[in-house]
Amino acid sequence: MEEVTVNSPAETHRLGRLLGQLTKPGDVICLYGELGAGKTHLTQGVAAGLAITARVTSPTFTLINEYQGRCFLYHMDAYRLSGPDDMADLGYEEYFYGDGVTVIEWADIIREILPGERLDLQLKNVGENKRTIKLVPVGSRYVIMAEELLKLVHAGD
Ligand SMILES: Nc1ncnc2c1ncn2[C@@H]1O[C@H](COP(=O)(O)OP(=O)(O)OP(=O)(O)O)[C@@H](O)[C@H]1O
Ligand SMILES: [Mg+2]
């Protein structure tokens, strides 16, 4: 679908914030992209959009960090997992299909268990401070979300 180019960490944060403003409990956002692509920066923006004031850091050792703002934010990072089996004991369904917004870094590692409907964001490092973010909505709810997001991103605020 559509691709957005961002030219600084602040622009990535802004895109995340606008996305966070559009999300509702039960939404799932999956982030893909190499080390340093900006997945955590984007997630911090989502948190800001959900009016979360706590500092959001990568859930490296905990797998999931929970924050409460306008609703819960469940921040997952699958980087250290070898696959979906590592998620078995976690009760991940309660997160994916629960009462919060879920953001998953390195979602490709647990591809098999991702909800069928979700917003995939593919981040690519294309320069020192430049990243492309490809929006791939899966399911009608996310098609609308992606359209709204593009409008907000290009509107300037
Ligand atoms: N446009 C940009 N958007 C986001 N980060 C950028 C951008 N330009 C430069 N950066 C830098 O790239 C790095 C992105 O780090 P971040 O932790 O967000 O990446 P990540 O994709 O979460 O990596 P990891 O896979 O290690 O979790 C930071 O050092 C940030 O300053
Ligand atoms: Mg990260």
Cβ 78 under 6 angstroms from ligand 1: no
Query: SS3 for 32-81, per residue?
Result: ECCCCCCHHHHHHHHHHHCCCCCCCCCCCCCCEEEEECCCEEEEEECCCC
State the total domains in the chain.
1
Position 86 scores a pLDDT of: 83
pTM: 0.96
**What residues flank ion ligand 2 with Cβ within 5 A?**
39-40, 58, 105
Ligand nearest to the CA of 37: 1
**130 CA: nearest ligand 1 atom:** 1
Q: Which domain holds residue 108?
A: 3-155
CATH number, domain with residue 27? 3.40.50.300
Residues 36-63 have pLDDT tens digits of 999 999 999 999 999 999 999 988 777 8
Residues 72-107 have pLDDT tens digits of 999 999 998 888 888 877 788 888 888 999 999 999
Cβ 39 under 6 angstroms from ligand 1: yes
